[in-house]
């Protein structure tokens, strides 16, 4: 089969997760000029919020419900936003003020990643303990969830389509458009662009640059948290789920050029589709060649790595730097 509807729907959820993550990673990079290696683990924290919601709201008893999203989307936005804000205020800003080199800042974010994964592991141990000791029989069934749970069984469906396949792209579009309107139509958004463009000049004009940067980190973390909520519907819950995902997230940001939020979102989306469909068609081709069923789902990051290498060597400033008008007219699509 050349086109696969279910694959397309799954890809929509996965690709919009990457779009959200690449966009928010780009935001933190624009603000702090350091690639945040803990970004995919932010999403993992958001994913754990879903498990906590399933547990605390009793959704494990009632089965699929919209309550999963109503509760976990705002919760993970706030929690992960706070984590990101703390990372900026406690670690990155003081270190940058001390004049630590970019290498030092990068290894600091790697350190934060280790700390966050350690905290997630501790939480997972706690949750396992609570679920195991519980007198509730349904809750005891959740005991394996903190380390290898498929939470997609608790999400509702819309006309037979899992909600994440529709909600993911919707959230991506809403946040991209929202960002655009926020940055261009509001006073604070204009101040934000000014503070990012030229901090010194913005400061002399009375813009509180620190506040702007802090809010940017909070929003970036919040978006990563939301991405985590969608992400957990497409994969298995695990404290280290961010460690391989970070490859795809960086691929998306680099394809977007690490300089524009819109192109970050586009880059993430493209990487999601490239990985999923790249794996799918490679499987078909290899299967036809060898006559055996080939399963390559575990190697999908190969496509991301390839995209990083090609992009950095061909257009290091990303898609954003390309002259699209010229490309379109060359292709005969625009006069």
Measured from the CB atom, the residue of 1 and 313 that comes closer to another protein is: 313
129 binds another protein (CB under 8 A): yes
Helix and strand numbers, DSSP H then E, in the chain: 16, 2
Whole-angstrom distance, CA of residue 98 vs CA of residue 22: 28
CB of 257 to another protein, least distance (A): 11
* Close Cβ partners of 219 (under 8 Å, ≥ 6 residues apart): 24, 27, 81
Query: Which CB atom, from 235 or from 301, has the smaller least distance to another protein?
Result: 301
User: Is 292 one of the binding residues for another protein (CB under 8 A)?
Assistant: no
**Residue at token pair 């195991």:** 132
Q: How many CB atoms lie within 10 A of CB 145?
A: 20
Over the window 247 to 276, marking each residue x when it contacts another protein by CB under 8 A and - when it does not, the resulting string is: x--xx--x----------------------
Residue 237 β-bridge partners = 149
Length of the chain: 335
Listed in sequence order, the residues at least 6 apart from 8 whose beta carbon sits closer than 8 Å to its beta carbon are none
Size of the site for another protein (CB under 8 A): 46
Q: How far is the CB of 136 from another protein (least distance, A)?
A: 19
How many angstroms separate the CA atoms of 335 and 156, rounded?
46
Query: Does residue 106 bind another protein (CB under 8 A)?
Result: yes
- Confirm or reject binding of residue 50 to another protein (CB under 8 A): no
91 binds another protein (CB under 8 A): yes
**Is position 100 an interface residue for another protein (rule: CB under 8 A)?**
yes
| Options 121, 134, 214, 235; binder of another protein; rule CB under 8 A | 121
Regarding 328 and contact with another protein (CB under 8 A), the answer is no
Q: Are 11 and 273 in contact (CB under 8 A)?
A: yes
């Amino acid at each position: 089969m050349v086109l696969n509807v279910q694959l397309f729907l799954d890809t929509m959820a996965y690709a919009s997760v990457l779009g959200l993550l690449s966009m928010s990673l780009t935001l933190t990079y624009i603000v702090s000029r350091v690639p945040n290696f803990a970004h995919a683990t932010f999403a993992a924290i958001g994913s754990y919020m879903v498990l906590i919601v399933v547990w605390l709201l009793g959704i494990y008893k009632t089965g699929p419900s919209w309550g999963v999203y109503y509760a976990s989307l705002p919760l993970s936005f706030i929690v992960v936003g706070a984590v990101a804000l703390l990372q900026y205020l406690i670690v990155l800003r003081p270190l940058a003020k001390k004049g630590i080199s970019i290498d030092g800042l990068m290894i600091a974010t790697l350190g934060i990643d280790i700390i966050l994964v350690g905290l997630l592991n501790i939480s997972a141990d706690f949750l396992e303990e609570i679920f195991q000791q519980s007198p509730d029989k349904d809750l005891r069934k959740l005991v394996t969830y903190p380390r290898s749970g498929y939470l997609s069984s608790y999400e509702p469906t819309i006309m037979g389509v899992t909600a994440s396949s529709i909600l993911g792209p919707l959230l991506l579009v809403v946040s991209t458009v929202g960002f655009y309107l926020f940055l261009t139509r509001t006073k604070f958004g204009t101040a934000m662009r000014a503070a990012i463009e030229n901090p010194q000049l913005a400061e002399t004009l009375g813009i509180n640059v620190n506040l702007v940067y802090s809010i940017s980190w909070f929003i970036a973390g919040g978006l990563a948290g939301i991405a985590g909520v969608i992400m957990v519907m497409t994969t298995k819950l695990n404290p280290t789920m961010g460690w391989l995902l970070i490859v795809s997230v960086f691929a998306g940001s680099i394809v977007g050029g690490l300089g524009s939020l819109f192109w970050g979102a586009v880059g993430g989306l493209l990487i999601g589709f490239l990985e999923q469909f790249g794996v799918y068609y490679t499987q078909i081709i290899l299967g036809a060649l060898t006559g055996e069923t080939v399963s390559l789902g575990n190697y999908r990051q190969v496509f991301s790595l390839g995209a990083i290498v090609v992009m950095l060597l061909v257009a290091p400033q990303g898609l954003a730097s390309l002259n699209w008008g010229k490309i379109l007219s060359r292709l005969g699509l625009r006069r």
